[in-house]
Amino acid sequence: MHDAIVVGGGIVGASVAYHLAREDVDTLLVDRHDTGRATDAGAGIISPATSSRTASDRWFEFALEAAAYYPELVEHLENEQGGKTGYSDCPLLSVAVDEDEVPEYDAASERIRERQEKYDQPAPGTTEEISSSVAQSRYPALAETRRCRAYDGAARVDARTFTGALLRAGESHGLTVLDGDVTRIDHEDGAVTGVETADGGRYEANAVAVAGGAWSPRFAESLGVSIPVEPQRGQIIHLDLGETDTSSWPILSPFHGHYMVPWPDNRVAVGATREVGSGFEPHATAAGVHEVLGEALRVAPGLADAEIDEVRVGLRPRSADQLPVLGAVPTVEGVHLATGHGATGLQLGPYSGKLVADEMRGESVDIETFSVTRFE
């Protein structure tokens, strides 16, 4: 028997499991490696201070907390496992390349000013207006800009690498990782007793975390609770720039919901589509590739000769109100949810995992806003 079981091995589930194991909780993580897992196809931009999201102050406050937690977590991981974490600081350019984007750019600048007054974020001195020529010197593939703001407080994370680091560090603390498909969460007299897997296995525990991404709602009926999370397909394209050194390039954030993230191996990730109602269809589409490349070349025509290295497709777990779904299930004692992050799973996931793990250990955590009970 284990103390706790985590269902799902993406960045959120790996974080839950790692934080449990680090506190000497005997933990089993079961993962079936779903094709289309959102973790494998995320951009990895960590920059809530420049986010365009305005619908929820609590989301913004939570995102600031999550971003602030990353460096502390990275330090732990670097000391507890032998590989890279995939996390690094990276400057960001917010750009308007067409005249019709200037009003939205100005609105974003005002939003940044308001956030600085209310939250002191972005931190004073980390953001400034720069000229088109300066912007192009920092991002040589960039078109001439109408307006551009530089931000020095952003970061990027390679989700596959970071998730691997979480699992390796967890294993150094005794975490057990099992390849398997959890088909049922067992409970008796209102309390969880364990899980069953497709191969007939049964694993007992008195605490279970459901971190199955877009697939998490498959347990809703047996738990007697509604989990309004659906898959939102995102297509992201990795471009190989050959001999062009992209190690010092900034993240590029234009104003049509797309982005470009440079990586030190002469690669740039461009994306992404946000396809609500896509269902569980983790394949690239002609329309999606056209959208992503069209927007990328509009903003950065210097990428036209880049080689398409890979198209990644992820099914993001999008909740009904676009906020995470975290914490205890009211219907079955010992079951906790960690899902619903949508397109912000890489930004919020490691911190969400920590808080859910803390709650599972009986600690007091401030995640009531994200409880599944809000949908009742």
Give the pLDDT mean for 302-327. 97
Helix, strand, coil percent values for the chain (each to nearest 5): 35, 30, 35
* Average pLDDT over the chain, rounded to an integer: 95
55 and 201 Cβ atoms separated by less than 8 Å: no
- At 160, the amino acid letter reads R
Q: Give the domain ranges of the chain.
A: 4-44+160-228+321-375, 91-153+230-319
CATH superfamily of 91-153+230-319: D-Amino Acid Oxidase, subunit A, domain 2 (3.30.9.10)
pLDDT (0 to 100) of residue 268: 98
Span of 29-43, 107-121, 157-171, 270-284 with lowest mean pLDDT? 107-121
> How confident is the model at residue 50, as a pLDDT?
85
Cα distances from 349 to residues 13, 265, 286, in angstroms, run: 8, 25, 30
Q: Any idea which of 89-98, 123-132, 182-191, 238-247 has the lowest mean pLDDT?
A: 123-132
pLDDT tens digits along 56-88: 788 999 999 999 999 999 999 999 998 999 999
* HSE-up (13 A, CA, CB side) for residue 353: 34
* CA distance linking residue 248 with residue 147, whole number of Å: 21
pLDDT at 376: 86
The conformation of residue 37, written as its DSSP 8-state character, comes to B
Q: Which amino acid type is present at position 310? A: E
Q: Please, what is the angle between helix 57-80 and helix 345-360, to 10°?
A: 80
Residue 202 CB neighbour total at 10 angstroms: 11
Range of lowest pLDDT (106-110, 209-213, 279-283, 316-320): 106-110
Contacts with 103 (C-beta within 8 Å, 6 or more apart), sequence order: none
Tell me the per-residue pLDDT of 147-199, one tens digit each, with 9 for 90 and over.
999 999 999 999 999 999 999 999 999 999 999 999 999 999 999 999 999 99
pLDDT at residue number 122: 87
Provide the pLDDT for residue 281: 94
- Partnered with residue 337 across adjacent β-strands are 210, 327
Model confidence at 55: pLDDT above 70: no
Quick one: pLDDT at residue 54? 63
CA 61 – CA 355 distance, rounded (Å): 15
- Which CATH class, in words, describes the domain spanning 4-44+160-228+321-375? alpha beta
For residues 227-250, average pLDDT: 96
Report how far Cα 16 is from the mean position of its chain's Cα atoms. Answer: 14
DSSP state of 341: B
Q: Do you find a cis peptide bond into 272, omega within 30 degrees of 0? A: yes
36 conformational bin, left if phi > 0, alpha if psi -120 to 50, beta if neither: left
pTM of the model: 0.96
How far apart are the C-alpha atoms of 339 and 16, rounded to whole Å? 11
Sheet of strand 191-197, all strands in order from the earlier edge strand to the far edge: 182-188, 191-197, 202-204
Residue 146, SS3? coil
Q: Are strands 4-7 and 127-129 parallel, antiparallel or unpaired?
A: unpaired
Range 221-237 average pLDDT: 96
